[in-house]
Chain A
Amino acid sequence: MSEIILQAKNINKYFHDPVTVKVLNNITFSVNKGEFVSVTGKSGCGKSTLLYILSTMDTDYEGELLIDNETMTHKKEKQLALVRNQKIGFVFQFHYLLNEFSVLKNVMLPGLKLNKFSEAEVEHRAMERLKMLGIQQLANKNANQVSGGEKQRVAIARALINDPLIIMGDEPTGNLDKKNSEIVFNIFQELATEFKQTLLIVTHDEGFAERTNRIIHMEDGNIVT
């Protein structure tokens, strides 16, 4: 019996622009600790929409979301920000780094925000993660001076800085070539097997999905498997 990290209960989501359409229909599932889950489905079936709800960034939905057995529904914006900071690591398709900062500082920022460790410790932890991902030599480069694949690794390091309960990714390899996709996938795999990191990754890549523990397949706003 393993611990449940994330639980979605009867989640419905509508878009009202230009006409009201239901894009998520009664989504119910849960993710256990240490699971490496991928979400697949045709373009437009609602994967991203679901992920934004699960990541607490989108609060406009029906149903209930529990993270770490705590309900996220009806929480205040500030509390949700704290949950994202502490418990969720997010990796986007496009390498969202802050160009005003160095690679190291980008990784450190969520850690500094959490304010659990001193600045020196946060820096040390950030370096550790960069090393683990094999990009410690980039630490002092500016965020816009590194390649796409490297950026994605920096983003993963950033997602890991606060030891999140779960890492979510929206097509994190979608914008990378074969080689870099492989590197990123291997990192995820390693995180899952060696560190028992829970991962929930949306992907289009069938090969990627097949190698994960569990595939959630979506069609038109419904989970089919």
Chain B
Amino acid sequence: MKYKLIFSIAKSLLLARWKQTLVAAVGVTFSITMFITLLSFMTGLNKLLDGLILNRTPHVRLYNDIKPSKDQPVNSAVAYKDYHNFISSIKSSSSRQEIYNSTTIIESLQRDKRVVGIAPKIFAQVFFNAGTIDITGSVNGIDVEAESNFFHFNDYIVDGRGTDIKNVANSIVLGKGLATKLLANIDDVIQVTTAKGEIFQLKVVGLYQSGISEYDKSVAFASITTAQKLLGKPASYITDIQIKITDLNQAPKVAKEYAGLYGCDAEDIQTANSQFETGSFIRTLISYAVGITLLIVAGFGIYNILNMMIYEKMDSIAILKATGFSGSDVKKIFMVIALTIGFFGGLAGLLFGFLLSSGIGRIPFNMTALPTVTTYPINYSLVYYSIGFSFSLITTYLAGYFPSRKASKIDPVIIIRGK
């Protein structure tokens, strides 16, 4: 096979100049290492920060907004059907916060293949009583298992046990900031006053810290039943249905569909958090830019070294041509040299990138916002490894292309005459 010959010639030329070759390869290795490390680390951080919001935000949320009814009675009156009716001073009816037919809706959602998880929720506005002071806040009635599975509720419990709200009657999990304000600890009993003026005693079974301190100062969690009791509502009463779907990007479409289907409001995650993607995008972009810049610099290194090598090897190239190697053979030989540098340099870069990023992944990192995170987050995604490797081959290909072409065009007569 002719390629075997080309490889063997390329190898000999490489080894004859192994120091320069090594320098060139180290350039590639360095840039790929940095590329991998940077992206793994940056996207790891991105994921973590996005997770702060994404983990806790349902992809689609079904609820009933407080707003005036669209169908005012006058519009349905037969007598005024063909008229344009002007109604002024419409008021919202507050009685409609409940999602009607919630049980049926949940059942139908469970059959929907796009849905990964469903967590019902009740939102209750209350006052937490601390001596003479009342702190406004809210109690979220949750299904603690669904909430943990789909929205990582348990990850944010810093003290006590979240699941106890289901097991212990009349129990509550307080936001850390709120607990501090109330001077409440685990097993203490606190008092809340509902919007309707009723007073309840609830036992603190856990503390919750989301990392968003303003939120932690006013939030508390209880079981669905407890929340229903607080509001004096029947067992079917639910104000929110939180839905996690398979494809996040489908959320706006799905939300629209559900709103029509179930006759309630539906909000998708993109609308709820329109900002969060921008930050991640910029950070990722910067990482790519830096990584690719490094690679281009390495590419110039390869270009220089190949040019030098070709300059030194003019005589050899002339002999090869005189003895029957064509210009394209010579070109292939130098392309193989370039790609070998790219291949091995890149491979080593992947290895070192992995080692360096896993090293960073061991550095302790404590974030009050995320009690479950103890070291720097690293995203070990194969995608970056394949991009890094492809880039190392592409850059070395481009860096090798022009010198190789130059080598293929060397006129043996000029070299032989020049002696």
A→B interface (CB under 8 Å): 48, 52, 55, 57-58, 77-78, 81-82, 84-86, 90, 92-94, 96-101, 105, 109-110, 112-115, 158, 162, 170
Contact = CB atoms under 8 A, between A and B. Distances in A.
A131 B252 CA distance: 83
Contacts of A97: 319
13 contacts: A57-B411, A58-B413, A81-B329, A86-B324, A96-B315, A99-B316, A100-B16, A100-B316, A109-B9, A109-B320, A113-B324, A113-B325, A115-B2
B5 A100 contact: no
Given A48-B417, A57-B413, A84 B327 contact: no
B419 A93 contact: yes
Contact of B329 (A92, A101, A113): A113
Interface in B398-419: 411-413, 416-417, 419
A105 B412 CA distance: 21
B12 interface: yes
A115 B124 CA distance: 85
B407 to A, nearest CB: 14
Contacts of A48: 417
B325 A96 contact: no
Contacts of A170: 416
Contacts of A82: 324, 326
B16 A113 contact: no
Interface of B: 2, 5, 9, 12-13, 15-16, 315-316, 318-329, 411-413, 416-417, 419
A81 B417 contact: no
B327 A77 contact: yes
B12 A110 contact: no
Contacts of A115: 2, 5
Contacts of A110: 323-324
Given A57-B413, A100-B16, A94 B326 contact: no
B323 A90 contact: yes
B322 A90 contact: yes
B326 A77 contact: yes
B16 A57 contact: no
Nearest to A161: B323
A109 B322 CA distance: 12
A109 B323 CA distance: 9
Nearest to B317: A98
Chain A CB count within 10 A is highest, among B324, B326, B327, B413, for: B324
Given A84-B324, A101-B12, 9 more contacts: A52-B416, A55-B322, A57-B321, A57-B322, A58-B413, A78-B326, A81-B327, A98-B316, A100-B12
A113 B419 CA distance: 26
Given A100-B316, A158-B323, A94 B413 contact: no
A55 B319 CA distance: 13
Contacts of A92: 322, 416, 419
A23 to B, nearest CB: 12
B16 to A, nearest CB: 4
Contacts of B13: 100
A85 B5 CA distance: 15
A105 to B, nearest CB: 8
A57 B411 CA distance: 8
A147 to B, nearest CB: 18
Given A77-B327, A100-B16, A57 B319 contact: no
A100 B316 CA distance: 9
Contacts of B413: 52, 57-58
Contacts of A100: 12-13, 15-16, 316
Contacts of B323: 84-85, 90, 109-110, 113, 158
Contacts of A93: 419
A223 to B, nearest CB: 21
A78 B327 contact: yes
A25 B378 CA distance: 76
Contacts of B320: 98, 109
Contacts of A55: 322
A147 B315 CA distance: 18
B412 A57 contact: yes
B184 to A, nearest CB: 81
Contacts of A77: 326-327
